[in-house]
Amino acid sequence: MPSAIRANHAAHLARSALLPGEHAPLGAHWDGEGVNFALFSAHADRVELCLYTADGKTELARHTLPSLTHQVWHGYLPGAGPGTVYAYRVHGPYQPHLGHRFNAHKLLLDPYCRQLTGEFVWSDLHQGFDARHTGETEVPDRRDNQAFMPKCVVTAPLPAARAKKPRIPMSQSILYETHLKGFTIQHPGIPQAMRGKLAGMAHRDIIAYLKALGVTSVELLPIQSFISEAFLNNRNLSNYWGYNPLCLFAPHPQYLSGSSPAEIRELTDTYHDAGLELIMDVVFNHTAEGGRLGPTLSFKGIDNLSYYRLQNEDRSFYINDTGCGNTLNMTHPRVIQLVMDCLRYWADTLQVDGFRFDLATVLGRESYGFDRGSGFFDALLQDPALAGIKLIAEPWDIGPGGYQLGNFPPGWSEWNDRYRDTCRRYWRGDAGMLPEFARRLHGSSDIFEHGGRRPSSSINYICSHDGFTLNDLVSYRERHNDANGEKNLDGHRENFSDNFGVEGPTHDATIHVIRQRQQRNFLTTLMFSQGVPMFQAGDEFCRSLHGNNNAYCQDNELSWIDWQHISKEGQHQQAFVRYLISLRKRFQCVFPDTYMHESSDPGISTIEWFNSSGEIMQASHWQEHHTRTLGCLLSAPVADAPDSAAPTRIMLVFHSGRDAISFRLPQREGITDWEIVLDTASFSGQPDPGNCRVKGRLNLFSCSSVILLALNTTSEHQSHGVSEHGH
């Protein structure tokens, strides 16, 4: 828009009077002739709409919203359109002990804002209370903070999506967790201007890499707008991970090449064209406003009593079930509406394929505790716009009864930390882990097999953004988080890790070999467990954070993926992961989305457990605390098998002992011999073509895994020669 026209338009907006408008929908919406503004506040006395120049630096006018309907303040501005910059000032009582923190001296962001302009700058002017006041009673800070605040921007409707969502069943999904900036900022194939941006994540080189790797769904750490906490700002650090949300509808401005949320749609369209899914890590448990001493930026100044859970005995204090200072009040219908509207916007308008909910127990906590039939869960279950969307819970918070693994409603999947810790302890060589290890391989049926839930309820992972990388898991026994500035007291204390004799990097070739093999063991366990595998970006090529298991504030080379210096070992591991994922897809029939059990019925998928003598595991075998070898036979019936003439039977052999061992393969009718299809003793996982057949006994290296395919007289595999020797 030319500057003269822009100036005339600004003058028009300054002179225009607000019409009553409508109370729904909430937010700022353009109808082709003007913009309707609607803001919920049950306890405000008056709401002012503040209009700004396009850069957000100069205020043009203030208008009082003229109408109040169903606790929604609303007004209609004729002639306004997309690009209009605005924010609010909300008048009302400042009575913290009653839960009210209104302060019209503080500029506030619209909770439904879909685009931001300008940067947030930390200042003590954001405090709603006057910290300089020495009296016993809090008083409001009357200084204006607008110069340090971003502003809201009215957006235009987006066109229809150009690509259909892939709709990959959860049971067939392979999740790849990554950080948008860290994944792209140092990629040599991405133009400099696109690095660290949504556009970089959609670059053809990234798409090609993901497709070649074989993953189906990319799970991005938060891309909703966020800010760094004040204490990090004071240390010259930042909230790199993004779990400190500012506006839930608006994309993080630093991830945009321009300013429009249409860039999100371009990303999802590009992924869908490639047959990939995009899952967002979302934060609906708390906001960046923190607790009593935190800033007033939006919700706190709009209607603190409605939006947050407050302590009954003194409502100037916040319930802190999140550890982040505040907790959104998911028992309030308008807060549920906010989250539901936000999910619909990201899923329907911006076309993301699913959500991973941070600290998801908050979403189901009623006044009496967690309830899998909570108001939010019920609202989500019946919403047709969200049908088929992937829903993934981080099933814990720090509140009372906060650990809820296995207790989310049908249709949800959950991050399974029991899987993570059990696999780590088994491969570390801890005694007595066999029964627990088998339960995790089985899709954690002891946790999820109830109420119609399926193996896909379990999101299996060994490592995620929160904790050691896979390489560090086998290289460090202790966390090394000194760079975070918290005296190495932050992050998980117990990692169930091992360094094999040396803490951190070493030139010892023997240690290198066992560390590499252990990583392959973890990855093999992950990909051949019932449930949904998820691994974090970089674990496929031995990425290290040098022992930092809580790099949430490290927006630097430590956290960024270094694509140009992947080691020789990392290249071997990349090839291994690609091959491993191809096997998971090849033998998808032995990973049905129903729980398998032992059965004599040839028409159903079954699972059987064997000891190293080739015997079916009995109760006494499970109690042998020093046994570290386990066989697992997965069988799919003829109808489900890729070879219609015979069932598919896959033998998994896991050995976490530090000595070599001989494993007797089970004898079954129709099985003539076995073909090794994966062996973690090999860098690539692929066995020697001249020695991939075994019968009778399988000789295992220390700390190794082998995957075998049963061969029989009707199988096409019988055309190959058979080795008489064991492995």
Q: Is residue 679 classed as helix, strand or coil in its secondary structure? A: strand
Catalytic residue of the set 394, 397, 414, 673: 394
**Dihedral sign for Cα atoms in the order 424, 429, 430, 435:** positive
Contact 28, 112 (CB under 8 A): yes
| Phi, psi angles (nearest 5°) of residue 369 | 130, -175
In angstroms, the Cα distances linking 501 to 370, 498, 585, 626, 644 are 44, 8, 37, 21, 50
DSSP annotation of 27: E
CA dist 577 and 243 (Å) reads 29
Residues 6+ apart with CB under 8 A from 301: 90, 101, 102, 103, 106, 108, 128
Give percent helix, percent strand, percent coil of the chain, each to the nearest 5: 30, 20, 50
Contact 665, 696 (CB under 8 A): yes
Q: Residue 514: which H helix or E strand, with range?
A: helix 509-527
What 407-411 contacts at long range (C-beta under 8 Å, 24+ apart), as own/partner pairs, is: 407/370, 407/372, 408/360, 408/364, 408/372, 408/377, 408/457, 409/372, 409/373, 409/377, 409/381, 410/451, 410/452, 410/453, 411/381
DSSP annotation of 326: -
CA dist 236 and 476 (Å) reads 27
CA dist 615 and 544 (Å) reads 41
- The residue among 483, 520, 482 whose CA lies nearest residue 686 is 520
Contact 425, 525 (CB under 8 A): no
Is residue 394 annotated as part of the catalytic site, yes or no? yes
Q: What's the CA dihedral at 479, 480, 485, 489 to 10 degrees?
A: 30
CA dist 516 and 568 (Å) reads 11
CA dist 429 and 412 (Å) reads 33
Catalytic residue of the set 138, 358, 397, 449: 358
Report which residue type is found at 9.
H
Residue 450: count of CB within 10 angstroms of its CB? 12
Contact 192, 118 (CB under 8 A): no
Is residue 358 annotated as part of the catalytic site, yes or no? yes
DSSP annotation of 456: G
Outline where DSSP puts E strands in 184-327: 217-220, 277-282
CA dist 709 and 674 (Å) reads 6
Q: Is 701 left (phi over 0), alpha (psi -120 to 50) or beta?
A: beta
DSSP annotation of 613: T
Q: Is residue 596 classed as helix, strand or coil in its secondary structure? A: coil
Residues 6+ apart with CB under 8 A from 440: 416, 418, 419, 422, 423, 460, 529
Which residues are the active-site residues?
Answer: 358, 394
